Structure 1
Amino acid sequence: MAGRLADRVCVITGAASGIGRATAERFLREGARVIAADLDGDRLATLEGVVPVTGDVSRDQDARRMITTAVDRFGRLDVLVANAGVIPLLSVTEAEGSDFDRVMAVDGRGMFLTCKYAIEAMLASGGGSIVCTSSISGVAGQARQAVYGPAKFVATGLTKHLAVEWAEHGIRVNAVAPGTIETERVAAARVEPGGPEYLAEVERGHPMGRFGTPEEVASAIVFLASEEASFITGAILPVDGGYLAR
């Protein structure tokens, strides 16, 4: 049976690990043709079945190349998953201006650039679907998210504005807002100073009593990318075990 994304041409950024990798693997199972982009070329090379593109989404030429690879290889772009991001755990007194700039470059500017070039490609082929990775930190306040949280509010805002601007051209733009997900970043936080205490507190904020998995977020992304969500645009879909419902 054909999958829900059969023959769709899809670019996924931040695809080497975590939510991006789980999404790439799920898209492949759903029949998509996947261009997987990430800064970590070595790890990206271990992802089978994709067209790999190594690059930095915050660099204009790299972001453009991620999209043009899809068009050059397959003739069009149907789906963008704008997922690349960095997640420092810093309070405003711990953070420096350089920390803020680095996160905004990847999570903010990088998402803007990949969406920009994806929309240009989708206009040429009659429409498409964009799914941005926001966060519960892009909807509500959290401790130790002084640089990451504002960048995810950029993701939420960009999603809504682009959805309104491009709906009449057949381009849908939505976002997922994951809670805390068991990624490599969370594993690293478990051994950072103050990390275990922070994670224990955050876990208590998830009514389901646990963190999510990358695969659970990937399932939501597949839905938003597919025709099953054909009348949905501008939505921010929580995948958070009830965190935002409190």
Structure 2
Amino acid sequence: MDLGLKGSKVLITGGTKGIGRAIAETFAAEGADVGICARNAAEVADTVEALKARGVAAYGEAVDVADGAALKAWVGRMADRLGGIDVVVANVSALAIGADEESWRKEFETDMMGTVRLVDAAMPYLEKSPAGAIVTISSVSGREIDFAAGPYGTFKAAIIHYTQGLAYQLAAKGIRANTVSPGNTYFDGGVWNSIKDGNPALYAEALALNPTGRMGTPQEMANAAVFLASRAASFITGTNLVVDGALTRGVQF
């Protein structure tokens, strides 16, 4: 299937590792030009070079999405370099699961406001795009009570609500908004890699909950995100696509 993404201008936050990196690489493989950010400048530079090697334009900067002014400025610079914005993917998470106030603050500023500010900054460009699309990355923790209940799960649920509101509000402008909710996703250097090494009992418990007997891969999550952003999904908006290998038991209506 031709996803119709060749020449599209795409921004991805948290684009150097795991799901974000896979999303950036998949867009590039489809012929889209890509702008990324992450906090580590060296990792951004390495990722940009890898994306350019796929024959597309790619740019990146070190940005903390919790810094609203820096995020807005980055969006503007990327739009100038790319020649516009067709797609934004809000991918960054603070991964804060503590019950303390600082964890709540980090989740709000990074996950929630990092998403809202990205969309707000990109909106003038999305409104000019012939195929504007917003994809937010939530989590199965946003729809089930699990070990990440608290700030992480709360704001992941809020992101789904926010995105579905955007879909309704922006439909008349031709801008689509959808969410991907990944299940447990394993990759080297990721959170489940750390849990496997540091808390093997929790890792084994999480693995046993999935009837597939494994965790997902970043590529499997990226496939969903890129499809939802593409013209192949032109009549899909307001959807929360759960990609979890039947981990969650709740029925979506």
* TM-score in terms of structure 1 length: 0.92
1:79: which partner in 2? Answer: 87
2:191: which partner in 1? Answer: 185
Q: Contact 1:4 / 1:31 at 8 angstroms: preserved in 2?
A: no
Q: Contact 2:10 / 2:33 at 8 angstroms: preserved in 1?
A: yes
Q: Which runs of 5+ in 1 are unaligned?
A: none
Q: Contact 1:127 / 1:169 at 8 angstroms: preserved in 2?
A: no
SS in 2 for 1:190: helix
Q: 1-side partners of 2:170 and 2:71: how far apart?
A: 20
SS in 2 for 1:45: helix
Q: Deviations over 1:154-173 (max 9, x none)?
A: 21111111111111101100
Q: 1-side partners of 2:82 and 2:71: how far apart?
A: 18
Q: Deviations over 1:120-159 (max 9, x none)?
A: 3211345500110000011221124322111101211111
Aligned with residue 244 of structure 1, among 225, 245, 248: 248
SS in 2 for 1:243: coil
1:65: which partner in 2? Answer: 73
Aligned residue pairs total 240
Q: Percent identity?
A: 34
SS in 1 for 2:128: helix
Query: What residue identity is the alignment partner of 1:190?
Result: K
Q: 2-side partners of 1:128 and 1:144: how far apart?
A: 32
Q: Deviations over 1:198-238 (max 9, x none)?
A: 22222222221110000000111111010111000010001
Does the alignment pair 1:198 with 2:202? yes
Distance 1:89 1:199, change over 3 A: farther
Q: Contact 1:5 / 1:226 at 8 angstroms: preserved in 2?
A: yes
Deviation at 1:116, TM superposition (A): 1.3
Deviation at 1:16, TM superposition (A): 1.3
Distance 1:225 1:3, change over 3 A: closer
1:53: which partner in 2? Answer: 61
Matches for 1:150-161 after TM superposition, within 5 Å: 150-161=154-165
Q: Contact 2:96 / 2:104 at 8 angstroms: preserved in 1?
A: no
SS in 2 for 1:107: helix
SS in 2 for 1:46: helix
1:7: which partner in 2? Answer: 7
* TM-score in terms of structure 2 length: 0.89
Does the alignment pair 1:136 with 2:144? no
Question: Cα RMSD between the aligned structures?
Answer: 1.7
1:18: which partner in 2? Answer: 18
Query: What residue identity is the alignment partner of 2:182?
Result: P
Aligned with residue 105 of structure 1, among 80, 104, 109: 109
Q: Which runs of 5+ in 2 are unaligned?
A: 53-57
